[in-house]
Each structure stands twice: as C-alpha cells, then as structure tokens.
Amino acid sequence: MRPSNRALLHRNLGVAALALIAFGAILLLRESYYMDTVVTVGIFFIMLMGLDLFIGYTGQLSLGHNGFFALGAYASAIMTVKMGVSPWLAMPVGMAISLLAGLMLSAPFIRLRGFYLALVTLAFGLIIHGMTLALPDVTSGAAGIGGIPKLSLGGIALNTDFNYALFVWALAIPIFWLCSNMMSSRIGRVFRVIRDDELPGQTLGIDTTRHKTVAFLLSAVLAALSGSLYTHFHGSLTPDAVSIFVMFELILMLFIGGRETIWGGLLGVVLIKGLPEVLVELKEYKTLAYGVVFLLVIVFMEGGIAGFLIQTARKLEAFLFAPSEPSSTGTSPWLATQETKYGPGSRSGPLLDVVGLKKTFGGVEAVSNVSFTVSPGEIKSLVGPNGAGKTTAFNVISGILRPDAGRINFDGHDITGRTPKGIAALGVGRTFQTPRVFGHMTVLENIMVGRHRMAAAGILGGALSLPGANAEENGMRQISLDLLAFVSLTHKAQSRAGSLPLGEKRLLEVARALAAEPKLLLLDEPASGLNDVEKELFSKIILQLKALGIATLLVEHDMNFVMKMSDNILVMDYGMQIAQGTPEEIQSNQRVIEVYLGSLGKKREA
C-alpha cells in the first residue's frame, strides 16, 4: 500500500475509534450525572480543534479567541431571545460575524507573529468581553441573557443532555475528520512551516501569510460555533463565560493535551473539565494544580500527553517491527525524469540579467553598481571577502531585500522588487548560508513543502480527502522520495530535519529547492562546513544540475571548490564589482590577487 494511503487509513481508523469512544460513552453514561460533562467536553473540543490549527500548527499564540467564542455565543443568544430568530439561522450568522471580525483583525496584524500577535488578539478578546458588559441594552450586561431556547432538529427536541450530546458529537466527529485530513495535506504542511520558519517557505513560492490567515479564520469560525453550541446548551449566557480566564484555561487544555495533533485538545478538555467533576474535594487547589501540571508539561513534555503517547507508540512500533525504510537505488529516477524537461541550450540569451544593482544600509553601500548575467546551465560564482556584499546580492535577487537601484530580469520577467514568493514562483530557488530547514518536520516533509508550489489541491480537497488531492499527494511524495535519493538522504527520510548534521541540512535545502523545479538555483556557501566527501557529493550534484540546464549562482569562500566548479566568476569587494571572467582570467587578474586571493593566507576572511 502506498504510504499516504496508509496514512489515510490510519486517519480514518482514528476518527472511527474516536466516534466509537464518544458515542459509546454517551450511551453508557445515558442516565448519569456525567452526561453534562460529555456535552461540555464535545463543545470545547470543537473550539480546541480550531485553536490547535492556529496555536498548535502555525505556532502563533492567541490570547483572544474567547472573543470569537463570545461572538458566536452572543449572536445566538441575542438573535433567538431578543429578535425571535430561529437558532438555525443565528448559528451561521454568529459564525459569519466571527469570520468578518477575524478578517478585520487579520488584515493589519496577521503578517506579524509571536508576542505581538498574542497582544493584538488579547486586546481583541478584552474588547469583545468588555462590550458584553458595556452594552447592557443589547447583551443584558453582567446579569446575562436567560431563556435561550433549546435546539430542535427535525421535530426532535435537543432538550435532554443525552440528545444534545448526540448532536454535539455528531458535529465534532466530522470536524475532527476534516481537520485531521487537512493537516495531513499540503495545507497542513504549510501551517507547520509557519511555526518553524516562514521565510524559506516564501522562497519556495508559498504565501505563508495567506495560510496563516486561513488558520486564524478557521479557528475563529470554530470558536463561534463552539460558543453558539455552548449558549443553547446552558440556556443562559453571562460575560463570565467569555472572559480572558476562559481563554487561559483553553490554552492550558491545548498544551496539556498536546498541540499539533487535533485530538490532543480532547485529552486536555477531559482532564481540565472532567477531572474536577470527579475530584470535587480538590476544588480549592484547582488553580494551583492547573498551574503546576501546565508548568510540568511545558518543561518536560513539550508535545503534551498526546505527544507523549505518539512517541511511545512510535518506540513500540520500532521495537516490534523492523523499520521499513525505502532502500536507496544507485541511480536516481528523479534525474531520469528531468532530462526531458530542460536540456542545455533550450533558450538563447541569459536567464538572469542583473544591471546596476545597488543596495545601501543606512549610508553603507552593501552592493553598488553590480551587473552580471547567468545563462541556462551556467555555474556562476560570486566571491569576495566577508562583507563584500555577496549575500546581500543574493537576498536582493531572491526578493528578501528590495534594491535601491538597478534592474533584475529573470526569464523574460522584470523581477526587481518583487516578493520572495513571486520570484520563487518564476523559478528561482535558493539555499541559506546557515541552513534554514523546517526543524520539527521530517526530512521527507521538508521536500514535500518544496513541492508545494507545483501542486493544486486546496483546503476543500485536503479536508475532504478527495481522490484527486490524494493522488496528487502521492505524486508529491514519490517525487520527493526520488529527490531524496538524488541527494543520498533516503535513509533519513523520516528523521527530524532539525536533527541532521550541517552537511545533510545543506543537501536537504538543495533537494527542497529542486522540488519546486527552479530554473536558477542560488546556493549560499554550500561547501562551508562540509567535509571532503560531502564536498565531492555536492560538486557532483551541481554538475548534474548543470547538465539538466539548471543555472547555478554560487556564493562560496572555498577557492578550490569555486575554481573547479565555475564557468564564470564575479569578484566583489566592499560592494563593488572588481572583476569578472573565467576562473583562469580571475586567477591571473592583478587587482583580484591584491584585494582577495593574495590576502587569503592572511585570513582576511576569517
């Protein structure tokens, strides 16, 4: 069975198991006092799945989703009680309002991250909560709204805990299925990229900001749904139910249960909402106990309970079954498939044409008036002492920095000042001086992220696990495995990318860039920190790419490597271009020897 089909089977089995447990519990506890808890757990599980998308997967911290919960809850309460609207209309309206609020909030703020975003969401949550108190004409203020009607579905009143539990869980299980599917699709991978490092994602042609917005909006809508369900369950609603303290508790649940799993939140709710019901005598110590457990989880169990369970299961699996790594074939099938696509001399004229490039940082000219071209299949090197402006030139070409003057043409397009994503989409790939792999994802997943831009399946295709999306996913996986074989990393396919040694990280970055099918590859010091064997492997790879017609622009300090590999060399010093030519010409150029080659022994570059 194909690995991704197996993953799909695993997901479906997981969903079935959860459904079995949930509905089994509902039937077993039918007449018991705990039915109430089963409903509450279901309602907050829906909220937590949304929070996991944003907080768990994209790694941002929100302190204000209680605001979205409030929008859903109060929309339902106000519309049904004060306006006499059907709850089935109020519920989607609440979700739409929440979506709108999410859009208004994300437009100016979502491109930022971390603490800043946490603070903005915090302010949002406070504003919404404040409004529930400050607009008593609408929200009935601190006293809250009572007499909220119970739902009824097709003539069946959902007025008992049992009926309502069935309803809530009949919503929660499909949402669980959709979220799990989506997070194993290419969309989910980008969410996780955002958690690790957005910039390399953008240089692979991915709009990370848009994906972060999607995660934020999905979590906002699920929060509103959860709020609406909460309202109709309790029949009354006070501002206390939507306060910042509720949000803190939800964060506790998510991290204790386990982020980045979708189902981890469920464990958290059961623990936080369920346990105090059983251990009533501990009520006094509740807050303290929450804090201690939370602290212990953050410090010693970063993946939460779910993460711990997954790790244990993996260890058990490795112990019981010998790991079945795909074996490496000597020749790479990737290379064979590429031969037909490019081919030397498939176009005339330069691929990259840089004219009069200039970039200054506060008066310092990091790059001044640099011009050069790169043709298909050409290996061009930028050399020069540290601070000569080589990496700056790279960053300008790949769109990370905007040039102050000059034009950059690539493959017939003027790419001057375009975004990294836009430039990558035209076929420019790059690696980083300090490798920036997606550390907490596997090596294979890293390459599949590289492949992202070549695939089309959207949120729906991924969430519904449509055949087309699955087939595409299988294709991405196969090409990524082929690429892994090409850079001799097949044996590391399932390793965490962050745990690779430097040399393998560099190889991984190249494979990741190649997955996006670049016409031009920018390699920033690929040979630094590599041993001789790895350097040999790297030269071989670069020459194979050359044979395919892929152009390479190289920044490198290792002169043997540069002289051996390059067709053409550009020498820079203090941002100026001081010489350009073949390796032979450069080696005999008097000026170059003066400023650079001659000083190598004196370690000017150290």
Partner 1 sequence: MTLFIQIFFSGLTRGSIYALVALGFTVIYMASRVLNIAQGEFLMIGGLTFYSFLTVFSLSEPVAFLVSVFVVVLVSIVYNRVVIDPFVSVDISREVPIMRFLLITIAVSYIFQGGGFLIWGSEPHSVPHFSGDAPLRVLGASILPQTLWILGVTLLVLLALGVFFKYTLMGKAMKACSENRATASLLGVNVRFVVLLAFMLGGTLGAVAGILVTPITTMVYFGGVMLMIKGIIGAKLGGLGTVAGPVLGGLIVGLLEAMMSIMPLGIRGGLMQEICALIILLGILAVRPTGLFGGAAGEALE
Binding site for partner 1 (CB under 8 A): 59, 61, 108-109, 112-116, 118-120, 122-124, 126-127, 130-131, 133-136, 244-245, 248, 251-252, 255, 284-292, 294-295, 298-299, 302
Consecutive H or E run containing 503:
helix 502-515
Dihedral angle sign, alpha carbons of residues 554, 556, 559, 560: negative
CB of 595 to partner 1, least distance (A): 29
566: three-class secondary structure by DSSP? coil
Closer to partner 1 at the Cβ: 134 or 543?
134
| Minimum distance from residue 257 beta carbon to partner 1 (Å) | 14
Closest CA to 212 of 229, 195, 232, 234: 195
Judged by beta carbon, residue 33 or residue 115, the one nearer partner 1 is 115
Q: Which tokens hold the place of 571?
A: 């020498």
Closest distance of CB 135 from partner 1, Å: 8
Which residue lies nearer to partner 1 by CB, 44 or 124?
A: 124
Which H helix or E strand runs over 422? helix 420-425
Tell me the C-alpha distance between 28 and 32, whole Å.
Answer: 8
* Nearer residue to partner 1 within complex by CB, 76 or 243: 243
Angstrom distance (rounded) from CA 45 to CA 59: 19
How far apart are alpha carbons 538 and 527 in whole angstroms? 8
The least CB distance from residue 69 to partner 1, in Å, is 18
Residue 578 to residue 597: CA distance in whole angstroms = 13
- List, in order, residues 6 or more apart from 540 with CB less than 8 Å away: none
d(CA 146, CA 551): 69
Residue with Cβ nearer partner 1 (69 or 255): 255
Residue in the block written with tokens 């840089």: 354
Nearer to partner 1, 113 or 347 (CB): 113
Tokens describing residue 292:
């201690």
Shortest Å, Cβ 318 to partner 1: 28
Amino acid at 325: E
Phi (first) and psi of residue 41, to 5 degrees? -60, -45
CB of 293 to partner 1, least distance (A): 8
| Nearest residue (CB) to partner 1, 114 versus 174 | 114
Smaller CB distance to partner 1: residue 199 or 559? 199
CB of 244 to partner 1, least distance (A): 7
Q: Note whether 71 and 222 are within 8 A (CB).
A: no
- The smaller minimum CB distance to partner 1, of residues 122 and 225, is found at 122
CA pair distance 455, 461, nearest whole angstrom: 12
Packing angle of the helix pair 161-183, 186-196 (nearest 10 deg): 80
Closest CA to 227 of 47, 443, 414, 427: 47
CB nearer to partner 1: pick between 419 and 488: 419
Min separation Cβ 239 and partner 1, Å: 10
- Minimum CB–partner distance for residue 456 and partner 1 (Å): 31
Strand runs labelled E in 191-290: none
Q: What is the smallest separation between the CB atom of 139 and partner 1, expressed in angstroms?
A: 11
Residues 595, 596, 602, 605, CA torsion sign? positive
Query: What single-letter amino acid sits at 583?
Result: P
